[in-house]
Amino acid sequence: MTYKYIIPWVMMAQCFILVTTSNTSKVPAIIVFGDSSVDAGNNNFIPTISRSNWPPYGRNFPGGKATGRFCNGKIPPDFISEAFGLKPTVPPYLDPKCDISDFADGVSFASSSSGFDTATSNLLRVLSTWKQVELYKEYQKKLRGHVGEKKADYIISEALYVISMGTNDFLSNYYLNPLVQVRYSIDQYQNFIIGIVENLLRELHNLGARKISIVGLPPMGCLPFERSTNIFRLKGDTCVEEYNMVAMSFNSQLNTLLQKLNKEVPGIRLVYANSYDLLWDYIHDPAKYGFENTGRACCATGRFELSFLCNELDPTTCQDASKFVFWDSFHPTEKTNRLIAETLAKTGLKQFF
């Protein structure tokens, strides 16, 4: 990712505001890998500029904390965790104020600006996919020491694993790097990323994961930043059609891969989370969901701002984020995240309740 795409998420007391975990859930923990769509603040604790731990980020989060989530409030894993009767927020693994007792029933290894392609993660020196897996292995050792081998095996095998990344690979790497475009056609690059996804899923299975939900790409051409910076490429619906076509093609291949692995890999249960259609519906039929603004975001002018450009010094930030699909020019509002998580809980994730 380059400086124009700072796509991540003061973690003062996040670990201490979590409520007691329910013991009735069939899923004992939520374990998260990915980018800024699901990063709860890991980037606060690594040397990168890809952060958002200042106001007005987090203004609707419990306690008004800017946790490092790229949102005005909660992100999808928080709502999914709550839906399963677990704690209402999933903490970042790198937070030094947390320990294994805070992570036993939910933890995020996600890192804003990350991607499946390690080259994408290297752009802003964030946690790559495989570094996140290394941290997960470390987590497993700590978990076994905390709860014992038998209970740890149960948590690892019955936990819900959420994976959400890929947008940065295309918008922050492929389309901005001529060297990548020389090496791969867009179809070849999609195949390359799908290959990484398959390797990741097989590795997580080898490590004991069984219940995995992987989120597809959103309608990338409809993000406010892309609309603003690609104005001459917009089509009739004011979205960048090329980017949306790539997202749909990739999602189709991803879904096919998951169906194949469900048949080939013993005991695995892979669920495709269709975020594309959900966001598309919010953007193109906003009144149905109580939205009023879809082409621009809440923070500042809503055209270009994210990360450090989205700050409390800008007086133009909207008063009511619930009327907007997007919080900054790249990331959804808490309301949008809640709607997505609620729909996924009622559909693909329903089998795990």
Residues recognised as catalytic: 36, 328, 331
Q: Which residues pair with 32 in a beta bridge?
A: 108, 162
Q: How far is CA 204 from the centre of its chain?
A: 18
Whole-angstrom Cα distance, residue 292 to residue 324? 6
Q: How far is CA 153 from CA 108, 134, 150, in A?
A: 19, 18, 5
Burial of 319 (C-beta count, 10 Å sphere; 0-12/13-18/19+): exposed
Sole residue written with tokens 């919080």? 327
Angle, vertex CA 65, rays to CA 62 and CA 159, nearest 5:
65
What b/e string do you get for 32-71 counting C-beta neighbours within 10 Å, with b at 16 or more?
bbbbbbbbbbbbbbeebebbbbebbbbbbbeeebbbbbbb
Pick the closest to residue 351 from 9, 26, 19, 2 (CA basis).
Answer: 26
Strands (E), the chain: 30-34, 106-108, 160-164, 211-215, 269-273
Q: Which two structure tokens, joined as six digits, stand for 111?
A: 């890192």
User: Maximum Cα–Cα distance for the chain, whole Å?
Assistant: 59
Pick the closest to residue 324 from 82, 56, 83, 26 (CA basis).
Answer: 56
Whole-angstrom Cα distance, residue 159 to residue 104? 10
